[in-house]
Structure 1
Amino acid sequence: MTTSRTLVTGIGVATPHGLGVEDFWAAVRIGKNAIGPVTRFEAPDGQVPLAGEIHGFEPRDHLPGTLVPQTDRMTQLALATADRAFADARVRPGDLDGYEAGVVTAAGAGGFEFGENGLGKLWDQGRKYVSAYHSFAVFHAVNSGQIAIRHDLRGPTGVLVGDEAGGLDAIAHARRQIRKGSRLVATGGFDAFLSPWARAARQATGLLSTGDDPDRAYRPFDAGARGHVPGEGGALMILEDEESAWSRDAPTVYGEIAGHASTTDPEPGSGREPGLRRAIELALADAACDRAEVDVVFADGAGTPELDRAEAEAVHAVFGPRGVPVTVPKTTIGRLCSGAAPVDVVTALLAMREGLIPPTANVEQPAPEYELDLVAGRPRTASVRTALVLARGRGGFNSALVLRSLDD
């Protein structure tokens, strides 16, 4: 096991703000909203649901034509984003021994839309019309597999499933693989299930926003919070061992993956405290980071009063009431399931680069009882050297990741 630092040397994003880091940052840094009515399907009840939808993405512009019918939209986004992340890191297939490089991703529901279409054909036309590609296109590990094939990565490869928390857990697992000897690991998470079946499944949770105004539907920590808005996309990062990055003269180093921890909530009704506070404390300890060093918290921001209250209590139990700036930039794109936290990590790295905390858009009246220093309405200029990213998933998953600037 090596104890050298794990560095981020390449990033790519696919969000409702589009593909590409600079376009994404230009929008999210000022709180530009990308949530709107869904255009990719008609809701059976006649209502037009809101979502963070990626417009203008044509898979054949980014991938071989033979690959497109074999893959779900989430995999197409993952592959296009991986290409950009490797290009950003200036790493090409063959630059490294393939056994020294791997890929670890997170997925929430696999190729959901591909699966939904396959079931429709099975029901309407019969089993002979179900694609042979269905067997892997809907599999949770398909993104890791397809990225590994495309970039000749034959080292440690895997997938983690933990809803919103899975994206941070995947990054942490990639860091572990680097500490075990891998030189490079591509990591992140993607989801894209904006379809009638996916909408019905999510609606049944009772956690989706009941609002119909795109600018007011998703407002975590707001007095009028009424649920979240789903979105599609994610992010991929190239992680490298510090010695490997310096030896090849990596052109850009965005920061260090300094610490991580994950916990699980106790059984409902047990009366025991949720596990998020403990995850924060363990992540800070793993990073050898004092709580006073944290410059900003990128919160999970579930957008319901009960879940927002639990997160706020965990944050000020560690940092004190209004003890650290808190922001939820995903209010501009919606919650991307396993893609959400990797996008937050990219956002935090870009905030370090510019010295600016992006705002929590759409929040008009932060609820005072949460006692948070919420960065709302407009961005805040600040020196960001250490950032904490939080994520929680349904079922009691909690994850916390500490990022550190190399200026330290």
Structure 2
Amino acid sequence: MNARTPAAAVITGIGVIAPNGLGTPAWWDATLRVENGIRPIRHFDTTRYASRLAGLIPDFVAKEHVPGRLLPQTDRMTRLAIAASDWAVADARVQPATLPEYATSVVHSNSTGGFEFTHREVRKLWTEGPARVSVYESFAWFYAANAGQISIRNKIRGPSSVVIADQAGGLDAIGQARRILRNGGQLVVAGGVESAFDPWGMLSHTATGRVSRAADPAEAYLPFDARAAGYVPGEGGAILIIESADVAARRNARVYGEIAGYAATFDPPPGSGRPRGLERAARLALDDAGLAPEDIDVVFADAAAVPADDDAEAAAIGGIFGPYGVPVTVPKALTGRLMGGGPPLDVAAALLSIRDGVVPATAHVDRPVPGHRLDLVRGTPRAQPVRAALVLARGHGGFNAAVVVRGPAGSLATDRRADDRSTTGSMAEQPRPDRDTVRGDSR
């Protein structure tokens, strides 16, 4: 097993802003309680909309988290991102401005931009005239606005960027952060936060034809379930402080874990007959981490809740781990798919699973597709040691990404030999799917 090196990328801070919790402790507690953050949209009339549910953050009061001077300059997505990044920086107990001037960076994932801000200003343009349009319209709507505001707020002057690849971009941002550290950077504020739920933004989500039309929040987003009929979009995400391990060690930082592996692939053109790229991305990420499939304790699935996509992901997981070979979970069933913000939230969940020895449950799924042959953690969280986790993400247009995170302890192989999977509450002692009930490998 590869030993950690000073060039390793370690996570020292987590900031979460999610539909079921403001701040990491509140969100994690709600996740372990299986508390749903999917709810009806009530801030505008959805009578004529095919879908009327979203993972919305109900209790965020911007002026309590964002300086007043920034309120006129920012869309809701950026205000959420500023709050999450402030919490992540505070959690890491670091001041980026005290590090060498160009040694800190921001890498942010965003796929929707500032819909609410720009549509308000366009309405002014057509109803009140150009003189009434905010000067901040020139940048507040832009995908890079979050990264820019975070860098200004923290006096970060190193190479920064925004990644646009739908869900996959949330993991690509983390992979890019690790690349920056390997090229000499010391600290990267990385992750993703999204919000696009004004009338036009919600229409854009539903135009894909992949959004659930269910009216009951408990029945709307059912990944890997026989009733799956689309996902629920949501807002929020997570920001991570990722540091070079030697820098973190010098300041005696608390470390949640390491970004041990990362890979990205693209699907082939439709009709080519070639396989999709998710399984290859996962295998490449494992190789990058120097881990074998048996070293992975849990998979955080992409979980599109679109039957054909669920079938493809289940086949990819089965191709690597075998039938029922690894616990699989979808905590985003409580929040909806957060576009670029969702995968960083899954990485945060993976890190806290490692810390606490528990795998969060997949909510509301009570009719798993037998042919998937997945060990889906359902109903309640599962207590078990977690030393390494695989996080998967896909984006519209054929993007795939995978990240492997592992704990901050010593050699994974040594830990496993000492434990020998005999610890109370280990994976071997958890209820497993009854293979005798399997009726076939397809719907």
What TM-score, normalized by structure 1, do the two folds share?
Answer: 0.97
1:216 aligns with 2:219: yes
1:197 aligns with 2:200: yes
Structure 2: give runs of 5+ residues left out of the alignment.
Answer: 413-443
Work out the CA distance in 2 between the residues paired with 1:114 and 1:157.
23
In the other structure, the counterpart of 2:396 is 394
Q: CA deviation at 1:44?
A: 5.3
Q: Any idea what the Cα deviations from partners look like across 1:276-324, whole Å, max 9, x if unmatched?
A: 0100110001001111100000000001101100111111011111111
1:160 aligns with 2:142: no
Work out the CA distance in 1 between the residues paired with 2:44 and 2:6.
49
Q: Any idea what the Cα deviations from partners look like across 1:261-286, whole Å, max 9, x if unmatched?
A: 00010101111100001001100010
Contact 2:117-2:137 at 8 Å conserved across structures: yes
**Partner secondary structure for residue 217 of structure 2:** coil
Contact 1:390-1:400 at 8 Å conserved across structures: yes
Q: CA deviation at 1:48?
A: 7.3
**Partner secondary structure for residue 224 of structure 1:** coil
Structure 1 segment 2-401 matched on structure 2, within 5 A? 4-43=7-46, 45=48, 49-250=52-253, 252-401=254-403
What TM-score, normalized by structure 2, do the two folds share?
Answer: 0.90
Matched AA of 1:166: G
Q: CA deviation at 1:30?
A: 2.8
Work out the CA distance in 1 between the residues paired with 2:198 and 2:364.
25
Work out the CA distance in 2 between the residues paired with 1:7 and 1:294.
18
Matched AA of 1:293: D
Work out the CA distance in 2 between the residues paired with 1:306 and 1:43.
28
Matched AA of 1:192: S
Work out the CA distance in 1 between the residues paired with 2:6 and 2:397.
33
Work out the CA distance in 1 between the residues paired with 2:365 and 2:67.
42
Q: State the 4+ residue runs in structure 1 displaced beyond 4 angstroms.
A: none
Matched AA of 2:276: P
Work out the CA distance in 2 between the residues paired with 1:265 and 1:253.
35
Structure 1: give runs of 5+ residues left out of the alignment.
Answer: none
Contact 2:49-2:203 at 8 Å conserved across structures: no
1:48–1:297 Cα change, 3 Å = closer
Contact 2:16-2:345 at 8 Å conserved across structures: yes
**Partner secondary structure for residue 392 of structure 1:** strand
Work out the CA distance in 1 between the residues paired with 2:58 and 2:371.
38
Work out the CA distance in 2 between the residues paired with 1:163 and 1:43.
24
Matched AA of 1:298: F
Work out the CA distance in 1 between the residues paired with 2:12 and 2:184.
17
Work out the CA distance in 2 between the residues paired with 1:30 and 1:47.
30
Work out the CA distance in 1 between the residues paired with 2:319 and 2:347.
23
Q: CA deviation at 1:124?
A: 2.0
Q: Any idea what the Cα deviations from partners look like across 1:351-372, whole Å, max 9, x if unmatched?
A: 1111000000010111111111
**Partner secondary structure for residue 60 of structure 2:** coil
Contact 1:37-1:48 at 8 Å conserved across structures: no
Q: CA deviation at 1:39?
A: 2.3
Work out the CA distance in 1 between the residues paired with 2:54 and 2:223.
16
Contact 1:351-1:384 at 8 Å conserved across structures: yes
Q: CA deviation at 1:217?
A: 0.6
Task: Give the structure with higher Rg (CA).
Answer: 2
Contact 2:51-2:211 at 8 Å conserved across structures: no
| Sequence identity percentage | 51
Matched AA of 2:284: L
Contact 1:44-1:196 at 8 Å conserved across structures: no
Matched AA of 1:121: K
Q: CA deviation at 1:37?
A: 0.6
Q: CA deviation at 1:94?
A: 3.0
**Partner secondary structure for residue 227 of structure 2:** coil
Contact 2:109-2:164 at 8 Å conserved across structures: yes
Work out the CA distance in 2 between the residues paired with 1:119 and 1:206.
26
Q: Any idea what the Cα deviations from partners look like across 1:131-153, whole Å, max 9, x if unmatched?
A: 11011111111111110000011
Q: CA deviation at 1:260?
A: 0.3
Contact 1:42-1:48 at 8 Å conserved across structures: no
Contact 2:51-2:214 at 8 Å conserved across structures: no
In the other structure, the counterpart of 2:406 is 404
Contact 1:38-1:48 at 8 Å conserved across structures: no
Work out the CA distance in 1 between the residues paired with 2:132 and 2:176.
38
Q: Any idea what the Cα deviations from partners look like across 1:85-116, whole Å, max 9, x if unmatched?
A: 00001112532123111110010111121122
Select between 80-89 and 28-37 the one with higher mean Cα deviation: 28-37
Select between 3-12 and 263-272 the one with higher mean Cα deviation: 3-12
Matched AA of 2:345: V
